[in-house]
Structure formats: C-alpha cells, structure tokens
Amino acid sequence: MSASTSAAPQIITQPPPPQAARESRIATHSHIKGLGLADDGTAMEQSQGFVGQRLAREALGLHLQLLRMGRHAGRPLLLVGPPGTGKTAMALAMSQELGSKVPFCAMVGSEVYSGEVKKTEVLGSCFRRAIGLRIKETKEVYEGEVTELTPSEAENPLSGYGKTISHVIVGLKTVKGTKQLRLDPSVYEAIQKERVVVGDVIYIEANTGAVKRVGRSDAYASEFDLEAEEYVPLPKGDVHKRKELVQDVTLHDLDMANARPQGGQDIMSVMGQLVKGGRTEVTDKLRREINKVVDRYIEQGVAELIPGVLFIDEVHMLDMECFTYLNRALESPMSPYVVLASNRGISTIRGTEYDGVVGGSGEGIRSPHGIPVDLLDRCMIVKTSLYTRDEIRRVLELRTKVEGIALRSDALEKLADEGERSSLRYALQLLSPAAVLAKTNGRIEVGVEDVSELGELFLDAKRSTGVLKEQDLNETRY
C-alpha cells in the first residue's frame, strides 16, 4: 500500500490504541439488546428488551434492511414522539443490530455549541466518525511462538563506556516447523514495548519491522490456576508467510492521526503539544487529501467504505447554520445513515429570531419539530406513541429483573398506575428508592407501602405543576 501512495501525501492509517475495558454497569437502556423483530420483519410484542412500539420498530427494521443493502445513504430518518416513548432506545437498538464492526456515533443537538471549535466542525467530525474504512493489506510476516529471545551486545562505538545491542536472535515455532531470525536492534525495541517473553505468539512484519503480540501460547494454559491472559493456538503453516491483515478505522481516526503535529522529541516540541491540548480543528484541505487517498485505496480494492449511523438526539436544538450544513453533508458521496430524533411539535427554528429588525416580529420561523421544511422534506418520519398501562407494567417487570429488585405483584400494579398517571420515566425512577426503603424497613420485597411512602417524599411533574398553580392562585387572592 505504501508503494501505491508514494507520490501522494503520506496518510497515517494506523488505528487508535485500544481503550481499557470499563466495568459494565446498569444504565437506562441496559435491557435493550435489539429491535425484537421476527425473521419476516414483524415486531414481536416483547423481545430483546423492547415492549410495544410495534409500528415504529417495524419501520426501523425496514430501514435496517436498506442500510445493509447500501441503498439508504443520505436519506435521514426522523423519530418523533412524546418524551419517554423509546426514541433513544430505538437508535441504540439499531447499533446493536448493525454489530460492532459498523460505526455508530451518537450525539445531542446541544453538543455543537462549543467555545473551542465551530458548530459545523463538530457536526463534520461526527459525520466522519460514522463512516468506517476497512483496510485489507497482504503483508509478508514472520509468525510463531517465541522459543528464543537473545539480544547480542557489542561495544558502544560512540564512547568507550557501556555496551549497545548489535542484534537480537529470535526463534519462532509453528505447527510446520521452526526458524531462527537475526533482527535489527530497532525490532528488539518494538519487542520490548510489546512485553514479549518466551512462549508468546507474535508476528513481525517483514517490510516495516512492526511487532504485534497476539497472545500466550495455549501450551502454557495450565501453568496457573487463575491468570488474566489470552491463550491462542500455535500458528499453522510456515514461519515466513503472506498474511492478510484487516484494520477497521473511521475517517475521523484518519483525520485526527494526520492533524496532530508530529513534533520532534526536543523539549519545546513536547511542551508545545502539552500546552496546546483541547480539541483539534481539522482543515477542509486535509480532509480532501485524505478523501483522495481513501478513494484511491477503494479503486485499487485495498479498502472498503462502510457507512455507519449518525444519531442526533434533540435535533431541534440545532440552529439554522447547522441545518444548512446538514443539507450539504447529506448530499456528499461520503455520507453516513443519519437518524434524527425530536419530541417537539410546532416550534421556532433556532437562529431565525430577528430581534430589532424593522418589520420583524422577533418570533422567528416556526416549523414542525423545529426543523426547516427543506430538511424535513428529505426525512422519512417514524412516529412513536405513548405506552399503555399494560406495556408500562411489562417494562417495569423487565427493569426489576435487570436491576435485581424483588417486587410484589401489588406494588407492581401500584407503580403501573403511577406510570399511567404521570409517566413511564417517573415510575422507573421509583424502583431503586423503593428497594432502599424496603431494605431499611427490614423487608426483602418492595411492597405497596414503600411505593406510597415515596409518593409523599417525591413529586412527579404533573403534581409539581399543580402545586405551583395553587401557589399562584393563593398569591393572586392576597
């Protein structure tokens, strides 16, 4: 791949370092595992964590089929409905259905308002995060289990004191045979960085000398009773072979890898990188150069473009400049699948309020969902509806299993009534406090008395509004 791009600017195509795995915790949508569709595309009443919203889920299932066929880029999908009807959950379910290899970028409309970078730059970087690039390279590698690792020392030619590594002898073993390699000192430094020891399975790229530790040989699997180590089988074939390596990166990864200054190791370069910090704004010129190289890789069959999903929640928070940018970005040949969500009805489009203008009302342009009509015309709109009492009860049952809360049947019915009277979110928020109250009172299961006590401690939105209205009436009387 390096030979094909010798005349073009050097583009870094290395993926970012893997992030440390975080401990899983119970979150708002931990129970969502997918859209819960049958093989024929119809929505099941309760499946994969979803309850109800059958029409909306079936519409998203059809949308997913178009995504997999590659026929829906640049056509945004708009999820509209009251708060708490599962719009964000559906977007997360789409990411679960697409799998980990397809990029999924989620953002909120208010994220674009930053003091460091432009609004359009934030949107542009999110678009690039949602476009993946699968790079396939066939490289000559030496692969096997390390049987010998012997560095050879020599006198330092620069001074009469100390010694330096002249070369390193590495022995590699596969199922078919063994081979002893005499490698450069720079390769030994890469081996030390990977913390390779005898018994590890590694591969060394013949052209670049890059070293990758695959894991520990499974011959040592019974060495300890408990060890946080990944064991891999002994490689097949010869030690020296041609191997196809696949890297999954996003266009944003390439942008950031090439936008960061590759400064020297002197103190001024290091201090400059530390002081600068913050978010880097990528220039359009650099993105055009990266797009040219990516297009060349795709034409040569070296890489494959994978359009992902960009989910913009609370899209009514964007202003007119952002909507204009969205219209342009959706027409780009490199466009991801865009899913928008809004819980507003007829509302004012941000950025259209002309206070102080002669003849202007100062109210701005009002539009459905706070989205300009020209962008709204591009969207396929999916409506979500309020949950029924039976659906609220089933969602509460599901969440009690996820959170590990023991709930009596009468308490469940009481919470379902609360959810129907106020909202599903309020009923779900009462689960954890009710479990704490039951434990404090020495009970294993949550009962009706715990839910009733919470009703005295907390107010839902409707009751709080009623209290405020009553206070206003009392003030006007006196």
Report d(CA 200, CA 218) in Å as an integer.
9
CA-nearest of 345, 375, 351 to 363 is: 351
Cα separation values, 247 from 14, 53, 134, Å: 8, 38, 6
Report d(CA 219, CA 216) in Å as an integer.
8
Assess whether pLDDT exceeds 60 at residue 2. no
Please write the tens of the pLDDT for every residue from 385-434. 888 888 888 888 888 888 888 888 888 898 888 888 888 888 888 888 88
**Region for residue 52 given its phi and psi (left: phi exceeds 0; alpha: psi -120 to 50; beta: otherwise):** left
**In a 10 Å sphere around its CB, with 0-12 CB exposed, 13-18 middle and 19+ buried, how is residue 150 labelled?**
exposed
User: If pLDDT is split at 50, 70 and 90, which confidence band does 40 have?
Assistant: confident
Are 113 and 281 spatial neighbours (Cβ–Cβ below 8 Å)? no
Enter the CATH code of domain 137-245: 2.40.50.360
Residue that is written with structure tokens 């880097």 in the block? 280
Tokens of 61: 């299932």
CA-nearest of 82, 83, 85, 62 to 72 is: 62
Enter the CATH code of domain 31-130+308-383: 3.40.50.300
DSSP 8-state code for residue 319: B
Are 60 and 90 spatial neighbours (Cβ–Cβ below 8 Å)? yes
Assess whether pLDDT exceeds 80 at residue 362. no
Which range, 64-68, 236-240, 369-373, 472-476, is most confident? 369-373
Domain spans of the chain, in order of start = 31-130+308-383, 137-245, 389-471
Assess whether pLDDT exceeds 50 at residue 5. no
Top pLDDT among 306 and 158 is at 306
Return the pLDDT at 275. Answer: 47
User: If pLDDT is split at 50, 70 and 90, which confidence band does 312 have?
Assistant: very high
Tell me the whole-structure pTM to 2 decimals: 0.69
Main-chain dihedrals φ then ψ at residue 432, nearest 5 degrees: -65, -45
- Kindly state the helix (H) or strand (E) to which residue 143 belongs, with its residue range: strand 131-155
Q: Cα 461 from chain centroid?
A: 32
Please write the tens of the pLDDT for every residue from 192-240. 888 888 889 998 888 888 888 888 888 877 766 555 677 888 888 888 8
- Multiple choice CATH, 389-471, 1.10.8.60, 3.40.190.10, 1.10.645.10, 3.30.230.70: 1.10.8.60
Are 121 and 282 spatial neighbours (Cβ–Cβ below 8 Å)? yes
Report d(CA 326, CA 127) in Å as an integer.
10
Beta strands in 184-239 (DSSP E): 200-205, 211-217, 231-232
Cα separation values, 46 from 17, 32, 34, 43, 58, Å: 39, 11, 11, 8, 13
448-457 vs 409-421: helix crossing angle, rounded to 10: 30
Assess whether pLDDT exceeds 60 at residue 29. yes
* DSSP letters for 235-303: PPS-SEEEEEEEEEEEHHHHHHHHHS----SSHHHHHHHHHH-SPPPPPHHHHHHHHHHHHHHHHTTSE
Percent of the chain with pLDDT over 70: 84
Please write the tens of the pLDDT for every residue from 351-361. 887 654 555 55
